[in-house]
Chains A and B, each alone.
Chain A
Amino acid sequence: AQSVSQHNHHVILSEAASLELGCNYSYGGTVNLFWYVQYPGQHLQLLLKYFSGDPLVKGIKGFEAEFIKSKFSFNLRKPSVQWSDTAEYFCAVNPKAAGNKLTFGGGTRVLVKP
């Protein structure tokens, strides 16, 4: 069965700092990849997705992620964070052979200090 690992459980940083969240998955086949974000008190929202093509994908609010197939990784980045980026971030994998089933990582709580 596939699994998803997010390396950091908690990240604390100051405004304007750069953010990188790691995500690795274990699955040998072709996958769709997602990052979802959950702001305090809100539902899970799609931040960005990779289905095929350019491995560098751009999402909302200045986030981007890079798919490195050889490393089974899909790391999330933002060059300069804002206080409003305080949230929990989830990486999710959907094997193309598995319909719409998503396997999530454990999440990373990000706290941005003003």
Chain B
Amino acid sequence: DAGVTQSPTHLIKTRGQQVTLRCSPKSGHDTVSWYQQALGQGPQFIFQYYEEEERQRGNFPDRFSGHQFPNYSSELNVNALLLGDSALYLCASSLGTGGAVAFFGQGTRLTVV
């Protein structure tokens, strides 16, 4: 039973560029959430996708956008990258939107130079 998989594992981008991160949820899960974890901090909620729609959003600017596909996989896009966007980006999957347990992937380490 595959867990949550994310790609790529590491990424280096230049300030001002755009980046796309990918996530495949755990088998049987239909909800994907994205979190940003800056160094030395806990993960912060970016947004959540369910039934191919953004259902909830945290306190992140519109530069952060996402998508969910019919097979429940998801993408996180960040435009106009800033140095402060450097972080570990975590994908979490769950079943439904009613407070179910979230399973996390290994994350994508994004470095903006």
Contacts and interface: CB of A to CB of B under 8 A. Distances in A.
Contact of B48 (A44, A99, A107): A99
Interface of A: 4, 6, 32, 34, 36, 42-46, 49, 51, 90, 92, 94, 96, 98-107
Given A102-B102, A103-B45, A105-B42, A43 B107 contact: yes
A103 B45 CA distance: 7
26 contacts: A4-B42, A6-B42, A32-B99, A34-B101, A42-B106, A43-B4, A43-B107, A44-B43, A46-B101, A51-B99, A92-B42, A98-B99, A99-B48, A99-B55, A99-B56, A99-B99, A100-B31, A101-B33, A101-B48, A101-B56, A101-B58, A102-B33, A102-B92, A103-B45, A106-B40, A107-B41
Interface size range on B against A: 20 to 34
Contacts, number: 68
B43 A90 contact: yes
Residue among A42, A101, A107 with the highest chain B CB neighbour number at 10 A: A101
Tell me what chain B mostly uses at the interface: helix, strand, loop, or mixed.
loop
Contacts of A6: 42
B90 A99 contact: no
Contacts of B97: 99-100
